[in-house]
Amino acid sequence: MNSANYPVLVLNQTYEPLNICQARRAVVLIYRGKAEVVENDSGSMHSANLVFPLPSVIRLAHLIKRPHIQKKLSRFEVFNRDHYTCQYCGKETHQLTLDHVIPRHRGGEHTWENVVSACPWCNRHKAGRTPEEAGMKLKHHPVPPHNNHFFDIPYQYLQSRNEWQKYLPQ
């Protein structure tokens, strides 16, 4: 991956996680005095005549007030809520499908409480049946993601960016 595209955790002035941006954007914010480096990565970015240390975590110089809104139901958010794990067999993979616990053709709704991540094999095996009818058991019952007033870091970054852990709510 090009070093300009590395993910950088953006913290509010109060050290609350706000966003993830690319290293290129983070370096521009630092250069313009709008942010400061909190954690460095082990690399650098080069311009025509300058070398910038590659940031891993930056903190904005001014407080950003953000409204806290309920997350929209999407594939990405469901997979993130379920930690990229099939809710039937427990297999962790990025090749997932969405499954309606109670099938839509049988009155199931497209809501947080009725949609789970499923691997293709489990989804085909369950077909248009309920988990009980298919002899399958859910690992976790689906619930809406909690709104903890913080930006939720996508699960894929939590595994690879250990230096971010101390800035994230537990």
Q: pTM score, two decimals?
A: 0.55
Q: What pLDDT was estimated at residue 131?
A: 96
- CA–CA distance, 102 with 54 (Å, rounded to integer): 47
**What pLDDT, in 10s, does the model give residues 132-162?**
999 999 999 999 987 655 556 666 666 667 7
Dihedral (CA of 53, 35, 22, 68) sign: positive
Q: Which residues of 117-140 are buried (b: 16+ CB within 10 A; e: fewer)?
A: bbbeebbeebeeeebeeeebeeee
Count of CB atoms situated within 10 Å of the CB of 11: 21
Check: CB of residue 119 under 8 Å from CB of residue 95. Answer: yes
Give me the torsion for CA of 59, 151, 4, 44, rounded to 10°.
40
Count of CB atoms situated within 10 Å of the CB of 32: 9
Q: What pLDDT was estimated at residue 62?
A: 95
Q: What pLDDT was estimated at residue 92?
A: 95
pLDDT category at 1 given cuts 50, 70, 90 is low
Higher pLDDT, 5 or 157: 5
Map out the domains of the chain with their CATH numbers: 3-64 (no CATH), 75-134 (1.10.30.50)
Question: Residue 130 pLDDT more than 90?
Answer: yes
CA-closest candidate to residue 117, choices 86, 93, 140, 143: 86
- CA–CA distance, 160 with 72 (Å, rounded to integer): 26
**What pLDDT, in 10s, does the model give residues 31-81?**
999 999 999 877 888 888 888 888 999 999 999 887 666 788 999 999 989
List all residues 6 or more positions away from 69 whose beta carbon is below 8 Å from its beta carbon.
none
Q: What pLDDT was estimated at residue 152?
A: 60
Judging by beta carbons within 10 Å of its beta carbon (0-12, 13-18, 19+), is residue 104 exposed, middle or buried? Answer: exposed
